[in-house]
Amino acid sequence: MNTPSLNDDLDQTTTPLTSSSPTENDLQNLVQYGLTDAVRDRFAAICAKDSELEPGRVARVDGITTFVHSMSTDYRAVSTFARIAHDDEFEIEPAQPTVGDWVLVRPGQDQDPDELELVLSRTSLLVRKRVMRGKEEGDEQVLAANITTVFIVQAATYFNSNRLEREVALVWGSGAVPVVILSKIDLLEDVDPAEIVEQAQISAPEVDVFAASGITGEGTDPLRQFTEAGSTVVLIGASGVGKSTLVNQLMGDEVMDTGDIRESDARGRHTTVTRQLLPLPNGGILIDTPGIRTIGLVSGSEDALAKTFSEVEQYFGQCKFRDCGHVGEPGCAIAEAIADGRLLESRFESYKRMGRELEHDRTKGVAGAKTDHQRRMRVIAKGHRLKASIEKRKGSS
């Protein structure tokens, strides 16, 4: 085995003549930030072509300043010109890096800033629509990328089923797997946690639901199955539900400020860099997000809705009339299912409400169609079409 050199030497990044593409050993350093084999291979391929680039993972974003954990050093890189890198093509439009992104940084020469140049295409992306006050259309807020599991945290003492349905849909839409945690069970007085779990399960069928206390640690052991090496877990939920307390419990250490210590107190200091991507004792990575007050679904979340309400959608196509609107038509399978207790009316109502919101966004068109995500997808599609037509021309000549 090679002896890995400890490159704390900052000069190392500014001497491109001696730099070479990272060895397996160098990349091994990124395992502590959740590196998977697939990501390692992509980094190795890109760095073999351009040895100046330094692979790493985004720990925090502050405007165009991105904090990146790299193999032997951390970067504070500027992301103005960052683009998404697919296997062998780069997107034209700038990318908006987010915590959890796998990226390549080009270290700046002399006085130049370090530049975040490429963002590897994501395996999952958690995006919510920000609800703006006094403005009809909120923009999108990208919360985290390349996550395997999202812990949706709600206080067992303040369980809210509508919010949970939205949170679950948001997560299914991201490509990650939702897990529900009902926190603060030590505060439940005459209620059995199992009862709340049962309630939550109705709003989140097909999702694992746990009850736990971040203070006493009760119920937190089963959560560790989601935090093994190679996994990246994000915690979402309203402010004050106990996310940071759970993080500390899972870390076995006081790493996150809890309670009313303001997040902004620690801003801009180096210590905050290491506080967003938290390596867990059993190998996974934890990301704590600031509280999210409202959960807006981004346009194009229809599939996520279908997954969230699969027990509703299973009746579609079974009504007497093919164009049944499920509003009292004879032979409506939904109405029958509700009547004989196979389907909860409240679930169907939630489904309709969320579906209407998406429909509203879609028909309103303009703003919705210009979401970052859709723009990105269009650019990719265009790239693919172009490539296909070039190959076709080549083939026919």
Ligand X SMILES: Nc1nc2c(ncn2[C@@H]2O[C@H](COP(=O)(O)OP(=O)(O)O)[C@@H](O)[C@H]2O)c(=O)[nH]1
Q: Which residue has the tokens 């930030």?
A: 33
Helix ranges (DSSP H) in the chain: 24-28, 37-49, 161-174, 193-203, 243-251, 270-273, 302-308, 310-313, 333-339, 345-364, 366-369, 372-396
Out of 84, 119, 126, 241, the residue judged to bind ligand X by CB under 6 A: 241
Out of 319, 338, 343, 354, the residue judged to bind Zn ion by CB under 5 A: 319
What's the CA gap between 213 and 94, in Å, rounded? 42
Of 199 and 258, the one with the shorter C-beta distance to Mg ion is 258
Nearest approach in angstroms of CB 182 to Mg ion is 17
- Assess 188 for contact with ligand X (CB under 6 A): no
Q: Which stretch binds Mg ion (CB under 5 A): 117-125, 235-243, 308-316, 380-388?
A: 235-243
- Assess 156 for contact with ligand X (CB under 6 A): no
- 35 by Cβ neighbours in 10 Å (0-12 / 13-18 / 19+) ranks as buried
- First-to-last CA distance in the chain? 51
Nearest approach in angstroms of CB 215 to ligand X is 4
Sign of CA dihedral 387, 174, 36, 275: positive
Residues 6+ apart with CB under 8 A from 150: 126, 171, 174, 176, 177, 178, 179, 233, 234, 235, 236
Instruction: Return the structure tokens found at 298.
Output: 């981004």
DSSP letter for each residue of 112-134: SPPEEEEEEPPS-EEEEEPPPTT
Which residue in the shown chain puts its C-beta closest to Mg ion?
A: 244
CA dihedral 249, 254, 260, 264 (to 10 degrees): -120
- Assess 243 for contact with ligand X (CB under 6 A): yes
Nearest approach in angstroms of CB 153 to ligand X is 6
Nearest approach in angstroms of CB 140 to ligand X is 22
- Assess 266 for contact with ligand X (CB under 6 A): no
Q: φ, ψ for residue 109 (rounded to 5)?
A: -90, 145
Nearest approach in angstroms of CB 87 to Mg ion is 37
- Assess 242 for contact with ligand X (CB under 6 A): yes
Would you give the binding string for Zn ion spanning residues 365-384, x where CB under 5 A is met? --------------------
- Assess 324 for contact with Zn ion (CB under 5 A): yes
Residues 293-352 that bind ligand X (CB under 6 A): none
- Assess 183 for contact with ligand X (CB under 6 A): yes
Out of 27, 85, 305, 334, the residue judged to bind Zn ion by CB under 5 A: 334
Nearest approach in angstroms of CB 321 to ligand X is 47
Using alpha carbons only, give the angle 161, 126, 265 rounded to the nearest 5 degrees. Answer: 90
Would you give the binding string for ligand X spanning residues 208-227, x where CB under 6 A is met? -----xxx------------
Q: Which stretch binds Mg ion (CB under 5 A): 73-81, 116-124, 204-212, 241-249?
A: 241-249
How many other C-beta atoms are found inside a 10 Å radius of the C-beta of residue 9? 11
Nearest approach in angstroms of CB 188 to ligand X is 10
Residues found near ligand X in the complex (CB under 6 A):
183-184, 186-187, 213-215, 237, 239-245, 258-259, 291
